[in-house]
Amino acid sequence: MGKSRRAVITVSMREATLKKRLRSHLRSLGFTKTDDGMLTPPGSGKDVIRAIHGMQRDDKLSASQRFISQNFPKLIGYFASGTDVDPARISPVLQLISSDTWEGDLFRLASLTWSVPVSNGFGRRLRYLVWDGHNGKLIGIIAIGDPVFNLSVRDNLINWDTSARGDRLVNIMDAYVLGALPPYNMLLGGKLVACLIRSRDIYDDFAKSYGRTTGIISQEEKKARLLAVTTSSSMGRSSVYNRLKLGGVEYFRPIGYTGGWGHFHIPDCLFAELRDYLREIGHPYADLHRFGQGPNWRMRTTRVALRKLGFEEDLLRHGIQREVFICQLADNALKILHGGRGRPILSSLLSAGDVASLAMERWILPRSERRPEFKAWKRENIEGLLGAQCMEVATKLRVQM
């Protein structure tokens, strides 16, 4: 048998195996297909969404096992027990952090507790820890990064055409990590953390870091200003970002839902096999990933691999729609984003400290009086949020203590 013939047979066998694994995986998540070949999720409730994300989260925790083992004992003390929290004395402090620091490690450990895995971000990024200055414990985490290029509800709101979007998207970021940790989340701390996005501190940090940005496509220097931040709820409709107002100012507003397209239902292990398959057939997308190629690289790579395997593109339409929100830091953000001209009006943009004070009055203190069960939370419960990988480490830690 000739060498080329053997190669063809090898590729055909790999294709058959990959097809079988993909179908089996989607069935295991509860997906079914309609008569026209579209995927249908097993439901839209929060428990269903968490279950669909389960393998993706397990992959991430498994890949982080060494990191958790090394850092959990050192960092667990920064998480609060309910008895550490005095609602009347909570003092939120926003800290911009860098990679390769212990604060960066704490951010990563905290993000691993999320039931839906968070992205690592791409391109421009700003990451924050939100501390309780009273007790030195962690309230929550924030990360904003480059937004996706195609987001119809955002683009329709601004009334962008393709050219305007390409020129002005540099003035928007996306909050890809945004939330509070227990026990602060039990006190509606998620609303407080979200409102900090609309603060003068984050506006100024962006200006210092990215005020002079070179466009990836145009290669032209642009004077970027953080006019707006988008975010989406991982659980469909959000109870955190809806009705998010302080002092008569709207901090986030809902603008619609995503179309239910994505790749989260294709876990890392299967994505790696799809890339190997593309390498085997000599397709350039297998190793095309580098900065500047955009957040849609994984989507595009998956789409190409599925097409080569004979699947319809609809396999990437998982049907889980996420509610999308926008936070306008400038009062005239939409006008500038649409027309490209104007000076940002920042008259209602407060410092992080002032935003936090308003949020404390509006949500935290009333909640603490109505729902005192936050006091029962123990920091050791964090191990359960980190999965089985953390259990052995936490047990050893308690023995040592």
* Domain membership flag for residue 39: no
pLDDT on residue 398 = 44
Helix ranges (H only) for 151-281 are 152-158, 162-168, 189-195, 200-210, 268-280
* Domain membership flag for residue 248: yes
* Domain membership flag for residue 244: yes
| Contacts (Cβ under 8 Å, ≥6 apart) of 240 | 179, 190, 191, 194, 233
In what order do the strands lie in the sheet containing 172-180? 92-97, 125-132, 137-145, 172-180, 228-232, 323-328, 249-257, 244-246
| Contacts (Cβ under 8 Å, ≥6 apart) of 334 | 157, 158, 228, 328
* Domain membership flag for residue 124: yes
* Domain membership flag for residue 42: no
Cis peptide before 344 (omega within 30 of 0): no
Number of folded domains that form the chain: 1
Whether the Cβ atoms of residue 259 and residue 267 lie closer than 8 Å to each other: no
pLDDT on residue 335 = 97
pLDDT on residue 123 = 83
pLDDT on residue 44 = 66
How confident is the model over 205-258, as pLDDT tens digits?
Answer: 999 999 986 655 555 667 899 999 999 886 556 678 888 999 999 999 999 988
Dihedral sign (CA 195, 199, 202, 206): positive
Whether the Cβ atoms of residue 255 and residue 262 lie closer than 8 Å to each other: no
* Domain membership flag for residue 280: no
d(CA 182, CA 297) in angstroms, rounded, equals 34
* Domain membership flag for residue 27: no
Residues in the chain with pLDDT values less than 70: 1-11, 35-37, 44-46, 48-55, 121, 213-221, 234-238, 260-261, 288-296, 313, 319, 388-401
Domain with 100, as residue range(s), is: 64-261+317-400
Burial per residue of 77-112, b for 16 or more beta-carbon CB atoms within 10 angstroms, e otherwise: ebbbbbebbebeebebbbeebeeeeebebbbbbbbb
* Domain membership flag for residue 131: yes
d(CA 346, CA 200) in angstroms, rounded, equals 9
How far, in whole angstroms, is CA 85 from its chain's centroid?
27
pLDDT on residue 284 = 76
Separation in Å, CA 279 to CA 20, 160, 292: 19, 37, 21
